[in-house]
């Protein structure tokens, strides 16, 4: 029996907006503060390094999605071009990494809202949970409704960030340049490199929303043309935006204040905007941050549900998660399951923990993406093979610059996932034989 396919409804503009909605949020409003705390002003270098790695991965994701445009992203590519175990590891890591990222976005949204409305910090988790529930309800409505909401959210966010950059530069905040002195953290060369590479690994996660375009490949019109254009446009715009915002934030208050703001309030850019000579700046930044976090959360729940859908189709997850609604526009059970899982992670209540684990998991995910891209036949290639080789090496290298406890925990979870896959496949084999 043929599997029901999702309807193709996204064009180039819609795909770009989905990519921007996935990226421009947690990365620029939260991870810049985390990265600045690790590497100081040298987080600017980390942003460029992470952008280079993301570009390689983006090009490879684009050509994989163009050649194999189905829901599931690298989970499906691993199965199609490599083997079932690597395909499963990709899907498993995506679910874990992006669920953690979604929880980070929910907590970030809550932190900015609490700061903007001067609410009690004890509301951090309850507000985050409420956001997860509300956006899960929107995603259940299908890709068209989700895209409309996402476009409104992204437009508000980009306006707020543009205002932050121009208001910061125009106010003259930090013009003594002391915020960039010293540019690198104190210590020997090895310590400096370790801090920059660790920050690069953390900042890489902030770029990975472009993968949502590939994950939604089954719902994109003319995928071979649309997906590469959307991914490349999204990445170029995002890198310029990140560098501009990070420069102004560090120039205004310095990396130490950004780090403390992230640890205490998850709202570093709003803290920086208080130093501007524009009274309305903190309010506009707060509104932009709130919408940005909601946009990322919406897109992550959307992408997570599509990967879970693909895993349900192949029997790596229980088959009910592969069910679509009558219109064929949404895998409603998968959406509900992922919304519940993200809500559970929100209960952790720690932005740094969820973000650091997500960094390791998503780098493993994209390593498999690049390995899959190496298997594409020459006549089907959109980009040279060396792009995939460079992306593979960079992902594996950066993955182990995350704190040891997080990548050890990640390796343990890979083992747990493979054990789960073995159990599921045995259940399927037993049902077929009977």
**What's the Rg (C-alpha) of the chain?**
21
Distance CA 109, CA 155 (A): 17
Contact status, residue 197 vs residue 277, Cβ threshold 8 Å: no
C-alpha–C-alpha distance, residues 220 and 8, integer Å: 5
Inter-residue contact 50 to 204 (CB < 8 Å): yes
Q: d(Cα 245, Cα 241) in Å, to the nearest integer?
A: 6
3-class secondary structure, 70: coil
Q: What is the pTM of this model?
A: 0.76
Place 1 in a pLDDT band, splitting at 50, 70 and 90.
Answer: very low
Mean pLDDT highest for which of 211-215, 269-273, 350-354?
269-273
Could you identify the residue written with the tokens 């890709």? 143
Nearest to 268, CA basis, from 27, 20, 24: 27
Residue-wise pLDDT for 58-72, tens only, equals 888 888 877 887 777
- For residue 6, name the pLDDT band (cuts at 50, 70, 90): low
d(CA 191, CA 184) in angstroms, rounded, equals 10
Task: Report residue 355's pLDDT band, with 50, 70 and 90 as the boundaries.
Answer: low
Q: For the beta carbon of residue 12, count every other beta carbon within 10 angstroms.
A: 16
Rounded to an integer, what is the distance from CA 50 to the centroid of its chain? 13
Percent over 90 (pLDDT), the chain: 14
- pLDDT (tens digit, 9 = 90+) per residue, 16-25? 887 787 778 6
The pLDDT value given to residue 88? 93
Q: What rounded mean pLDDT belongs to the chain?
A: 82
Tell me the pLDDT band of 11, cut-offs 50, 70 and 90: confident
Question: pLDDT (tens digit, 9 = 90+) per residue, 117-144?
Answer: 888 888 888 998 999 999 999 888 877 7
Under 8 Å between Cβ of 146 and 302: yes
- Give the separation between CA 317 and CA 325, rounded to whole angstroms: 18
For residues 206 and 51, what is the distance between their CA atoms, to the nearest angstrom?
9
What pLDDT, on a 0 to 100 scale, did the predictor assign at position 359?
A: 76
Q: Which tokens sit at 87? A: 């395909």
pLDDT at 358 over 50: yes
Q: Provide the angle, in degrees to the nearest 10, between the axes of the packed helices 43-67 and 189-205.
A: 40
Read off the DSSP letter of residue 350: -
Grouping H, G, I as helix, E, B as strand and the rest as coil, residue 69 is: coil
Which is higher by pLDDT, 363 or 372? 372
- Please check whether residue 241 is in contact with residue 28, taking contact to mean a CB–CB distance below 8 angstroms: yes
pLDDT digit string, tens, across residues 48-102: 898 888 888 888 888 887 788 777 778 889 998 999 999 999 999 889 888 887 8
Least confident of 151-160, 169-178, 231-240, 375-384: 169-178
Q: Is the pLDDT confidence value at 248 over 70?
A: yes
pLDDT at 383: 82
The token duo for 120 is 């009690």
Give the phi and the psi of residue 182 in degrees, each rounded to 5: -85, 155
CB 247 within 8 A of CB 44: yes
Quick check: bond before 182 cis, omega within 30?
yes
Q: Please, what is the end-to-end C-alpha distance for the chain in angstroms?
A: 19
Instruction: Report pLDDT for 4.
Output: 61
List beta partners, residue 10. Answer: 220
**Is the per-residue pLDDT at 300 higher than 80?**
yes
Task: Give the CATH superfamily of 12-427.
Answer: Amino acid/polyamine transporter I (1.20.1740.10)
Between CA 310 and CA 299 the distance in angstroms is 17
Distance CA 432, CA 271 (A): 59
- Written as six digits, the tokens of 223 are 């995928």
Report which of 361, 309, 418, 398 is spatially closest to residue 101, judged by C-alpha positions: 361
């Amino acid at each position: 029996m043929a599997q029901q396919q999702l309807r193709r409804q996204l064009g180039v503009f819609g795909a770009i907006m989905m990519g921007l909605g996935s990226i421009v949020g947690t990365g620029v409003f939260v991870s810049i503060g985390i990265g600045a705390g690790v590497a100081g002003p040298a987080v600017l270098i980390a942003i460029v390094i992470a952008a280079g790695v993301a570009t390689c991965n983006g090009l490879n994701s684009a050509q994989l999605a163009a050649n194999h445009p189905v829901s599931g992203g690298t989970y499906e590519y691993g199965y199609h071009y490599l083997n079932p175990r690597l395909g499963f590891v990709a899907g498993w890591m995506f679910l874990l990494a992006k669920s953690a990222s979604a929880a980070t976005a929910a907590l970030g949204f809550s932190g900015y809202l609490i700061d903007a409305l001067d609410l009690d910090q004890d509301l951090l988790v309850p507000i985050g949970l409420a956001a997860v529930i509300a956006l899960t309800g929107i995603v259940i409505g299908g890709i068209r409704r989700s895209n409309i909401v996402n476009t409104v959210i992204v437009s508000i966010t980009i306006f707020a960030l543009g205002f932050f950059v121009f208001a910061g530069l125009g106010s003259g905040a930090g013009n003594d340049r002391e915020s960039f002195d010293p540019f690198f953290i104190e210590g020997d060369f090895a310590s400096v490199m370790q801090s920059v590479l660790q920050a690069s690994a953390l900042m890489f996660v902030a770029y990975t929303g472009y993968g949502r375009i590939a994950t939604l490949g089954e719902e994109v019109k003319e995928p071979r043309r649309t997906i590469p254009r959307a991914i490349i446009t999204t990445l170029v715009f995002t890198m310029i935006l990140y560098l501009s915002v990070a420069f102004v934030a560090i120039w205004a208050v310095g990396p130490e204040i950004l780090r403390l703001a992230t640890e205490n309030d998850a709202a570093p850019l709003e803290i920086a905007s208080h130093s501007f000579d524009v009274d309305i700046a903190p309010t506009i930044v707060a509104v932009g941050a709130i919408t940005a976090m909601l946009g990322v959360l919406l897109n992550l729940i959307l992408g997570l549900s599509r990967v879970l859908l693909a895993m349900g189709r192949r029997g790596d997850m229980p088959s009910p998660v592969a069910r679509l609604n009558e219109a064929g526009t949404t895998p409603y059970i998968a959406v509900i399951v992922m919304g519940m899982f993200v809500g559970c992670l929100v209960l952790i209540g720690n932005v740094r923990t969820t973000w650091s684990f997500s960094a390791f998991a998503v780098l493993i995910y994209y390593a498999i993406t690049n390995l899959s891209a190496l298997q594409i036949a020459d006549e089907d290639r959109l980009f040279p093979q060396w792009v995939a080789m460079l992306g593979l090496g960079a992902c594996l290298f950066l993955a182990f610059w995350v704190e040891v406890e997080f990548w050890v925990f990640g390796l343990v979870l890979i083992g747990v996932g493979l054990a789960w896959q073995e159990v599921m496949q045995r259940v399927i084999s037993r049902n077929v034989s009977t």
